[in-house]
Amino acid sequence: MTILRMGYVQARVTDLGKARDHDAITLPLYPTAEEDGELYFKGWDEWDHHSLVLEQGGVGAVKFGFKVEKVADLDGIEARAQAFGDCTVTRMSAGENREVSDGVRVHLPCIDHTFEFYHSMTAVGLEVGTHNPDAFPRHLVGIGAPMLDHALVIGEDIDTAARFFMEVTNFYTTERAQTDLSDNPTTIAYWLSSMQKVHDIALLRGQNGKLHHFAFQTRDWNDILHAADIFAMDDVPIDVGPTRHGITRGETFAGGYTSYRDRPTVIWTADQLAKGIFYHAREIKESFTTVYT
Amino acid sequence: MTILRMGYVQARVTDLGKARDHDAITLPLYPTAEEDGELYFKGWDEWDHHSLVLEQGGVGAVKFGFKVEKVADLDGIEARAQAFGDCTVTRMSAGENREVSDGVRVHLPCIDHTFEFYHSMTAVGLEVGTHNPDAFPRHLVGIGAPMLDHALVIGEDIDTAARFFMEVTNFYTTERAQTDLSDNPTTIAYWLSSMQKVHDIALLRGQNGKLHHFAFQTRDWNDILHAADIFAMDDVPIDVGPTRHGITRGETFAGGYTSYRDRPTVIWTADQLAKGIFYHAREIKESFTTVYT
Amino acid sequence: MTILRMGYVQARVTDLGKARDHDAITLPLYPTAEEDGELYFKGWDEWDHHSLVLEQGGVGAVKFGFKVEKVADLDGIEARAQAFGDCTVTRMSAGENREVSDGVRVHLPCIDHTFEFYHSMTAVGLEVGTHNPDAFPRHLVGIGAPMLDHALVIGEDIDTAARFFMEVTNFYTTERAQTDLSDNPTTIAYWLSSMQKVHDIALLRGQNGKLHHFAFQTRDWNDILHAADIFAMDDVPIDVGPTRHGITRGETFAGGYTSYRDRPTVIWTADQLAKGIFYHAREIKESFTTVYT
Amino acid sequence: MTILRMGYVQARVTDLGKARDHDAITLPLYPTAEEDGELYFKGWDEWDHHSLVLEQGGVGAVKFGFKVEKVADLDGIEARAQAFGDCTVTRMSAGENREVSDGVRVHLPCIDHTFEFYHSMTAVGLEVGTHNPDAFPRHLVGIGAPMLDHALVIGEDIDTAARFFMEVTNFYTTERAQTDLSDNPTTIAYWLSSMQKVHDIALLRGQNGKLHHFAFQTRDWNDILHAADIFAMDDVPIDVGPTRHGITRGETFAGGYTSYRDRPTVIWTADQLAKGIFYHAREIKESFTTVYT
């Protein structure tokens, strides 16, 4: 059983108009639908209908959708989630999420987050097509976010949540931050991968139900600079400027290495955590770890 | 059943001393063993004992090793390969390949290449370690090849070989080059992936038993320039300079997109193949497609 | 007396409509005027009215304009050019070149090229303005050529032409290609700088009156890749793909080091010239040195 | 009269041993001499004997050396400096500064800084040589600082100091930060250039005699990341991580545009100064503007 990817994030924003401008102009993402106060977007290198749904009112994550490879995988997830306990498991119908198939919805009270598993979404095609395609859309202005990449969510009991993702959805731990190297450390954060990405989802110990961030891929370090330039032009506050994360060796929003299930798990200790999170400045910015929504 | 990666390539070289210089100094790779006229190397971001074995005498590929996730996967491969037919399947013992576990060896006469499947190799660890690691080895000079990435092999009947990798090892086709868009085109090349890389192995129609190239990852476009600079300094002929492949959207040796099993397969047609292979120059260099070994 | 820069190039093209598309869409340059079959363009980081004039009919360079710092510099150039001999020197009036001041026109028969010297051009301003400017124009699509950088012109007697630029306009030689390291080598090419650029103009021995190329700056190696991608999308043939020139250490179209008048002159010899021109491929492409216009 | 460049900086450090490690290993610079508690260094792309002198004891700048083009330029500087007033002007002998020619020393009490002007220094040659040179030294580890680029010095009366550099050494203002756009603003900082660099020296209003920083060139944005990585590995605190300066459009330590004397001067106002200094974060870090030495 393989989770293909985190296929969509649904989030609340206080000002849907401003969010539309940011996403459709600054990033830019491609708007694919708008109705009933909900905006749907996809990246230029995605083929499914959407990867981001924004709704008016409040802030924070509503839910995260994971796409499975085969319809039958849903039965396995449902069965293992019920066996796992510590969560509520319900079936959802096709159409409950616009353009999304039927699936399984799991709420994890240990971190107070909701995850949906589905097997298909209406395909709308790649912006560059599939026949002799160009390297990127010719008239792209701005950063150009190709694809949704991962989310970092926050909760109180991330140990149970990490165990859920490993036992129920077959994720593995690529990196882990913990208090120390003793036999009984407290884990501060888990980075979890389904296949070869440095993380599909990461879990940070903190207040239940909070979202730290979700991120779209950029292609490389140069795109990070370009993105930061565009954000500056469009007056988007940047909490963390271009820098390298020691953890997962990525840069802000992107990058890293190709991971494998047999790769040794990387361990970050609390005393070096600043280096891990902000490889260059080596200080934990209060905003990065507490100003989530 | 999941193939983790192409874990090693064994190749013949006409001058082992020169090859040692190139690999250990120009790339550089880390030499991990040398005996009986065989040299063993690993990239700085690899943890298994080696990913490249060079032996004296002639040129070309001896064989390719694929690492499976679980010991039991070997039984599945053996059974499916025997059912597939058109190949010879033998069990190999631990130690037949230095530091490599027992496994299954398959010879595909349709392209005259040998593939080995194994479940473990002696681990020697990451050069940067696993506890609060640096982003790359501090004293790295030269290009710094982190990890073996893929191979492009040549043979007469690549349709059968592609079917083998899809039916026996569960690969899928990310991109395909074909003569035209008719109902009955001839496939010129297949790019095949196990999980999320744009390709683990690619197959090019041509003379049986030939190797086009195998490639180590580089991190990004800037490393490509750096690599080409170093190659020039060390008088290594570069058949293809820094350029982007349209196919798999990669640059020479590296890069591309994150692939998924449900991503639409990209099709390149013969009339646009030059664009696909050399995105910038748009002409097929004779050397690229015929001067294999 | 200081030449500020090569401020404009006037060139002939066989198809003015295609050239307009290429310059205004692919590069893109900013069109600033069009009349009587002449097109005027500027780069986004230029403040003077234009840096490129295209006229219908034939191919090749019509003339090159160099901007001096002070009006009085023109008298010096006129006097030194007349003393230099081997050239025709005429005064030109304001308006002979649209939006360009009066100046001095010099024809060098030794290479059959025409150079104009002027002290001012109508200013139209930077695209990003001068008050709290952005890093580049927000809605830039494509490569974005900031500024005209240099030209490489061809002629039979480049020794005399190089002496002209050194004695009359105070240029100095940054790099030189010559047949060998004997006491009496033949110079194959000169790279000449007025101040700190690796070259404002370069001279290549060959057929009189021919233009090898003129080039706009790009910002860095990543822009070169982006430019080559865009050229591929717009079906612009690229004679030389992204690569590094050993000579002036630049990449195709751009880059290099900051030069100083006391920097030792770099010497390239004929046997290493291929490395100097195409640092990575180390072979002289026939097209690069002979298919000029 | 043309100043070629800021050819050397002499600075005090509290721990000469640590500084040696940082400069010779982390950057790395090339040590060229050591005696009497003074360390001499040059960048790999410099040909004069040194560009940095470190002496034991205290912190801050001792003096800055500017190289002129011709011996006779020294007479002009001496005469104009004396006519300028508000400074002490003395002749210095060859050898007062190791390997440096005779020259003119000027102390500006308005900012309490000392500047030396000299016409030659013992040449030791480029690390890559001048005959068919490689693009960079083959065995370079670490960042590789090619060349000293500029300094940012602090003082109370920067208006007088800026006037000195414009009237006595023929610099011009590329960019200026001022309180507002009124007719009578206070200038907060000047960026001054001799020829085509975005600045050879910059002046910031503040406490007399203080040094904000001096900087070596890096080649591009990618080198900035690499530099920041290496700094992190070597535990060098980085006050400002990789980011773009809006002012001079440079990135930390490097970059920007090619400047010309007729380029419109860019004006930054106090309300946008944060954007100018830290283009991405748009907040003035207290440390950047006050923690000078």
Domains detected in chain C = 3-123+144-290 (3.10.180.10)
Instruction: Check D241 against A243: CB less than 8 A apart.
Output: yes
Instruction: End-to-end CA distance of chain C: give it in Å, rounded.
Output: 33
Distance (Å, rounded) from C-alpha D58 to C-alpha C65?
Answer: 53
Binned at pLDDT 50, 70 and 90, residue C49 comes out as: very high
Judged by a CB distance cut-off of 8 A, whether residue C229 touches chain A is yes
- Three-class SS of residue A101? coil
Taking contacts as CB-CB distances below 8 angstroms, the residues of chain C near D134 are: 246
So what's the pLDDT on residue C214? 84
Give the residue from C41, C35, C27 showing the smallest Cα distance to C56.
Answer: C35
Give the Cβ contact number of residue A26 at 10 Å: 20
Decide: B183 and B200 in contact? Cβ < 8 Å: no
Q: Report d(CA B117, CA B109) in Å as an integer.
A: 17
For residue C223, the distance in angstroms to the closest alpha carbon of chain A comes to 9
Residues of C in contact with B231 (CB under 8 A): 280
Residue type, C288: F
Nearest residue, CB atoms, A134 vs list C141, C220, C233: C233
For B107, the token pair is: 């010879």
| D83 has pLDDT over 90 | yes
pLDDT attached to residue C265 = 82
Q: Which value, in Å, is the radius of gyration of the alpha carbons in chain B?
A: 19
Give how far B138 is from chain D: nearest CA, Å: 7
pLDDT, average across residues D144-172: 93
What are D216's two structure tokens?
Answer: 């070596």
- From D92's Cα to the closest Cα of chain A, the distance in A is 43
Beta-bridge partner residues of C244? C251
D58: alpha, beta or left, given left = phi > 0 and alpha = psi -120 to 50? left
Residue type, B68: V
According to the model, what pLDDT value does residue D173 have? 94
Distance from the first to the final alpha carbon of chain B: 32
Q: Residue range B216-236: average pLDDT?
A: 64
D196 near C CB under 8 A: yes
From start to end of D38-195, where are the E strands?
38-42, 52-56, 60-68, 88-92, 103-108, 113-118, 148-155, 172-178, 187-193
Position D15 scores a pLDDT of 82
pTM listed for this prediction: 0.84
Q: What share of chain A is helix, strand, coil (3-state, %, to 5)?
A: 20, 35, 45
Mean pLDDT, rounded, for A145-158 = 90
Tokens describing residue D152: 């940012």
Cβ distance D135 to B222 less than 8 Å, yes or no, reads no
Instruction: Give the per-residue pLDDT at A262.
Output: 82
Q: Cβ of A132 under 8 Å from any chain C Cβ?
A: no
Chain A residues near residue D222 by CB distance under 8 angstroms: 221-222
- Say yes or no for a CB contact (<8 Å) between B282 and C242: no
The average pLDDT across A132-156 equals: 81
Q: Which H or E run contains B172? A: strand B172-178
If DSSP codes are grouped into helix, strand and coil, which group holds residue C227?
Answer: helix
- Could you give the 3-state DSSP secondary structure of residue B75? helix
Instruction: Please list every residue in chain A whose beta carbon sits closer than 8 Å to the beta carbon of residue C133.
Output: none
Asked if the Cβ–Cβ distance from D135 to B233 is below 8 Å, we say yes
Residue whose C-alpha is closest to residue D140's, from D52, D215, D230: D230
Query: Is C141 touching A (CB cutoff 8 A)?
Result: yes
Chain D environment of C275 (Cβ under 8 Å): 132
Quote the pLDDT of residue B285: 36
Q: Pick from B232, B251, B280: which is nearest to C275 by CB?
A: B232
Q: Inter-chain contact C280–B232, Cβ cutoff 8 Å? A: yes
Before C264, cis peptide (omega within 30)? no
Q: Which range has the worst mean pLDDT, A169-183, B107-121, D275-289?
A: D275-289
Check: CB of residue C9 under 8 Å from CB of residue C214. yes
Closest Cα in chain C to A134: C233
**Chain-chain contact of C264 with D126 (C-beta, under 8 angstroms):** yes
Q: What is the pLDDT of residue B287?
A: 33
Q: What is the mean pLDDT of residues D15-20?
A: 81
Quick one: closest CA in C to A232, which residue? C134
Residue C195's pLDDT band, with cuts at 50, 70 and 90, is very high
Q: Please provide residue B225's backbone torsions phi and psi, each rounded to the nearest 5 degrees.
A: -60, -45
Q: Give me B45's structure tokens.
A: 């971001």
* C122 close contact with D: CB closer than 8 A: no
Order of strands, sheet of A30-35, starting from the edge strand that comes earlier in the sequence: A30-35, A38-42, A52-56, A3-13, A60-68, A113-118, A103-108, A88-92
Asked if C130 lies within 8 A of D269 by C-beta distance, the reply is: no
d(CA B250, CA C39): 37
**Mutation site for D-interface testing, chosen from C170, C216, C260 by largest number of D Cβ within 10 Å:** C260
pLDDT range class, residue C144, cuts 50, 70, 90: confident
* Nearest-by-CA chain A residue for B125: A264
Whether residues A258 and B217 touch (CB distance < 8 A) is answered with: yes
Chains touching chain B, criterion 3+ CB pairs below 8 Å: A, C, D
Q: How confident is the model at residue C206 (pLDDT cuts 50, 70, 90)?
A: very high
Phi-psi region of D259 (alpha: psi -120 to 50; beta: other; left: phi over 0): beta
Quote the minimal CA–CA distance from A241 to chain D in Å: 6
Closest approach of chain D CAs to the CA of A238, in angstroms? Answer: 6
Distance, in Å, from the CA atom of B91 to the CA atom of D263, rounded to the nearest integer, reads: 74
* Residue entry with tokens 């910015």: A285
The HSE-up count of residue D185 (CA atoms within 13 Å, CB side) is 15
Interface probe for C, chosen from B279, B285, B286, B288 (most Cβ of C below 10 Å), is: B279
CA D174 – CA A95 distance, rounded (Å): 60
Mutate to test the interface with A, among C26, C44, C127, C141 (most CBs of A within 10 A): C141
Q: Would you mind telling me the total number of residues written for chain D in this entry?
A: 293
DSSP B203-271: EEESSTTEEEEEEE--SSHHHHHHHHHHHHHTT---SS-S-B-SGGGEETTEE-----TTSPPEEEEGG
C-alpha to C-alpha distance for C101 and D187, rounded to whole angstroms: 34
Q: What is the pLDDT of residues B57-110, one digit of tens each?
A: 888 889 999 999 999 999 999 999 999 999 999 999 999 999 999 999 999 999
Confidence at D234, pLDDT banded by 50, 70, 90:
low
Q: Comparing A15-24, B197-206, B249-258, which segment has the lowest mean pLDDT?
A: B249-258
pLDDT at C5: 95
The answer to whether A230 faces chain C, any CB pair under 8 Å, is yes
Distance between CA atoms of B107 and B87, rounded to whole angstroms? 6
Q: What is the mean pLDDT of the segment spanning D137-149?
A: 77
Beta-carbon separation of B233 and D140 below 8 A = no
The CB density around residue D291, as the number of other CB atoms within 10 Å, is 10
- 3-class secondary structure, A270: helix
Residue of chain C nearest A128, judged by CA positions: C233
CB contact C288 to A (< 8 Å)? no
Number of Cα atoms under 13 Å in the Cβ half of residue B245? 21
Q: How far apart are the first and last CA of chain A?
A: 33
Alpha helix ranges (H) inside chain D: 16-21, 71-84, 158-167, 221-233, 273-277, 286-290
For residues B196 and B2, give the distance between their C-alpha atoms in angstroms, rounded to a whole number.
Answer: 12
| C135 closest CB neighbour out of A136, A138, A229 | A229
User: Helices marked H in chain B — which ranges?
Assistant: 16-21, 73-84, 158-167, 221-233, 273-277, 286-290
Of the pLDDT bands very low, low, confident and very high (cuts 50, 70, 90), residue B137 is confident
Round the CA-based radius of gyration of chain D to a whole number and report it: 19
* CA triple B96-B102-B104, angle to 5 deg: 95
pLDDT band at D133 (very low <50, low <70, confident <90, very high): confident
Give CA–CA dist D151/D66, Å, rounded: 12
User: Looking at residue D25, what DSSP letter applies?
Assistant: I
Q: Does C272 touch chain B (CB under 8 A)?
A: no
Contact (CB<8Å) A135/C229: yes
What residue has token string 């005429």?
C90
Alpha-carbon distance D53 to D51, whole Å?
7
| D-chain residues near C272 (CB < 8 A) | 132
Number of helical (H) and strand (E) elements in chain C, helices listed first? 6, 16
| Closest CA in chain A for residue C222 | A222
Contact A141 C136 (CB under 8 A): no
Structure tokens at D139: 């065995």
C236 touches chain A (CB under 8 A): no
Q: Tokens 């690492």 map to which residue? A: B67
CA distance A174 to A198: 6
Q: What is the spatial distance between Cα A71 and Cα A118, in angstroms, rounded to a whole number?
A: 8
Residue of A nearest to B46 (CA): A263
Which has more confidence, D155 or C232? Answer: D155
- Looking at residue D51, its amino acid is S
Measured CA to CA, the distance from residue C279 to residue B241 in angstroms comes to 10
Residue with tokens 């001999």: C85
Would you call C238 and B281 a contact, using CB atoms and an 8 Å cutoff?
yes
Structure confidence at residue A239 (pLDDT): 45
72-111 in chain C: CB under 8 A from chain D: none
Residue B22 has what DSSP assignment? I
Q: Which of D134, D233, D234 sits opposite B233 (nearest CB)?
A: D134
The confidence score (pLDDT) of residue C118 equals 98
**Amino acid code (one letter) for A184:** N
Smallest Cβ distance to C269: which of D132, D221, D246? D132
Shortest Cα distance, chain B CAs vs residue C214, angstroms:
20
The Cα–Cα gap between A58 and A64 comes to 17
A232 touches chain C (CB under 8 A): yes
Phi-psi map region of C99: left, alpha, beta (phi>0 left; psi -120 to 50 alpha): left
Contact A220, A253 (CB under 8 A): no
- Chain A neighbors of C138, CB-CB under 8 A: 230, 233-234
How many angstroms from the chain centroid is the CA of residue B87? 21
In sequence order, which residues have a C-beta less than 8 Å from that of residue A254 and are 6 or more positions away?
A149, A215, A217, A218, A219, A220, A223, A224
Check B132 against A244: CB less than 8 A apart: no
Q: In what order do the strands lie in the sheet with D3-13?
A: D30-35, D38-42, D52-56, D3-13, D60-68, D113-118, D103-108, D88-92
What amino acid occupies position B193? S
Q: Which of D229, D231, D280 sits opposite A242 (nearest CB)?
A: D280
Q: Which of helix, strand or coil describes residue C192?
A: strand
